[in-house]
């Protein structure tokens, strides 16, 4: 269910980059598919510093995109925030986002994590990695995503369904890197190595590895971070049982995805929305944004927060995340052809 929360404006505290926006309409409407209570601090801090109130409308990414479409030119939405670059690509392909020309955003957000023409910008990132049970030791011969298709790992792998947006983006990036034919061969090899049919979310794959139901899994780093940061000792024990391999460190780098945002094409207050975007890549906001969900900051000068700092440093792939949407339809076809459901 969609819920609405309004952050009340407090006394204006000037920030040089926000003065113009603060002088215009004193509210923005943010449609967000992020459902983390810690994000509320971001909205409240922005309001305190600028006097611009934020009306927060929450829902699933698909529902919010459909809503903006249905509202048309009369949409009150100023900004769309969602997870996965593929969904941002979808919103943009429907003409729902506008280009933003901001030196702050261009300087602070890496080129690979923003739209080539400024239609959306990454705000935090998560790596999709290989996980194993530390009690069994690091699996020999498992360094790259490609190794997951090796018959040496037959009946050992747990992973989500092919329709999961994270797996679609992983395949989209793989198609861009190695080509459709090689990506299809990889998918067929991975399918042959399933320990069980795909079921559950990323946390379910992690728990299965910890419980010995499978030897290896593919999941996003922030799910392990959540377990390690939990107040439940059982969750912490699961997180501590997991070892992490950042794939492809000897070549193209590890696949990463984002939480990101764009200014809606029909935004009533685009200046305020741009000011909020710029605030979200500030040092203060980057720490809050990443800490709230155990994600990586997109600004590389910000220290990695919380439990995920213990995973170590890694090189991320350089492919532009817009590819995740551009190749998404082809990714679906590849998965379907090999029978990965």
Query: Alpha helices, DSSP H only, in 146-232?
Result: 165-178, 180-192, 202-210, 221-228
φ/ψ (deg, to 5) at 179: 95, 160
Q: Taking a C-beta distance cutoff of 8 angstroms, is the pair 278, 79 a contact? A: no
Q: What is the mean pLDDT of residues 216-224?
A: 97
Name the CA dihedral angle for 8, 10, 12, 18, rounded to a multiple of 10 degrees. -30
Q: According to the model, what pLDDT value does residue 264 have?
A: 98
Q: What is the mean pLDDT of residues 130-152?
A: 97
pLDDT of 14 above 80: no
pLDDT of 16 above 50: no
pLDDT of 166 above 80: yes
Q: According to the model, what pLDDT value does residue 15 have?
A: 38
Give percent of the chain above pLDDT 90.
88
Pairing of strands 121-133, 296-297: antiparallel
Domains 4-124+257-311 and 126-255+315-338 share a fold: yes
Q: Taking a C-beta distance cutoff of 8 angstroms, is the pair 308, 157 a contact? A: no
Q: Model pTM?
A: 0.89
Rounded CA separation 287/124 (Å):
10
Domain at 4-124+257-311, CATH from 3.30.420.480, 2.40.160.20, 3.40.50.720, 3.40.190.10: 3.40.190.10
Q: What is the mean pLDDT of residues 38-63?
A: 94
Rounded CA separation 177/252 (Å):
8
The contacts of residue 42 (CB under 8 Å, 6+ apart) are 279, 280, 285, 288, 289
Q: According to the model, what pLDDT value does residue 9 have?
A: 30
Q: Which three-class secondary structure state does DSSP give residue 193?
A: coil
Q: pLDDT (tens digit, 9 = 90+) per residue, 87-100?
A: 999 999 999 999 99
Identify the band that residue 160 occupies on the pLDDT scale cut at 50, 70 and 90.
Answer: very high
pLDDT of 240 above 90: yes
As its CATH architecture, domain 126-255+315-338 has 3-Layer(aba) Sandwich (3.40)
Q: What is the mean pLDDT of the chain?
A: 92
Q: According to the model, what pLDDT value does residue 292 have?
A: 85
Identify the band that residue 38 occupies on the pLDDT scale cut at 50, 70 and 90.
Answer: confident
Q: Where are the domains of the chain?
A: 4-124+257-311, 126-255+315-338
């Amino acid at each position: 269910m969609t819920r609405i929360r309004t952050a009340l404006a407090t006394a204006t505290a000037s920030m040089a980059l926000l003065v113009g926006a603060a002088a215009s309409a004193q509210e923005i409407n943010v449609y967000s598919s992020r459902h983390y209570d810690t994000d509320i601090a971001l909205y409240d801090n922005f309001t305190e510093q600028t006097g611009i109130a934020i009306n927060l409308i929450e829902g699933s990414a698909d529902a919010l995109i459909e809503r903006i479409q249905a509202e048309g030119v009369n949409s009150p939405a100023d900004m769309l925030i969602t997870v996965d670059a593929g969904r941002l690509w979808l919103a943009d392909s429907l003409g729902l986002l506008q280009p933003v020309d901001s030196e702050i955003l261009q300087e602070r957000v890496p080129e690979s994590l923003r739209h080539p023409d400024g239609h959306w910008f990454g705000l935090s990132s998560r790596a999709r990695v290989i996980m194993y049970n530390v009690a069994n030791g690091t699996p020999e011969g498992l360094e790259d995503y490609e190794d997951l298709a090796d018959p040496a790992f037959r009946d050992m792998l747990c992973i989500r369904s092919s329709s999961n947006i994270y797996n679609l983006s992983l395949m989209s990036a793989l198609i861009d890197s190695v080509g459709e034919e090689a990506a299809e061969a990889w998918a067929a090899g991975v399918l042959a190595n399933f320990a069980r049919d795909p079921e559950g979310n990323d946390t379910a794959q992690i728990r299965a590895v910890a419980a010995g139901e499978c030897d290896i899994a593919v999941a996003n780093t922030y799910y392990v971070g959540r377990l390690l940061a939990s107040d439940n000792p059982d969750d912490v024990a699961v997180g501590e049982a997991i070892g992490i391999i950042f794939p492809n460190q000897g070549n193209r780098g590890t696949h990463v995805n984002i939480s990101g945002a764009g200014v809606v094409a029909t935004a009533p207050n685009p200046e305020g929305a741009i000011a909020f975007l710029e605030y979200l890549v500030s040092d203060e906001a980057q720490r809050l944004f990443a800490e709230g969900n155990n994600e990586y900051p997109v600004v590389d000068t910000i220290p990695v927060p919380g439990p995920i700092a213990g995973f170590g440093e890694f090189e991320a792939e350089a492919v532009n995340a817009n590819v995740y949407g551009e190749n998404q339809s082809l990714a679906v076809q590849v998965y379907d052809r090999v029978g990965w459901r």
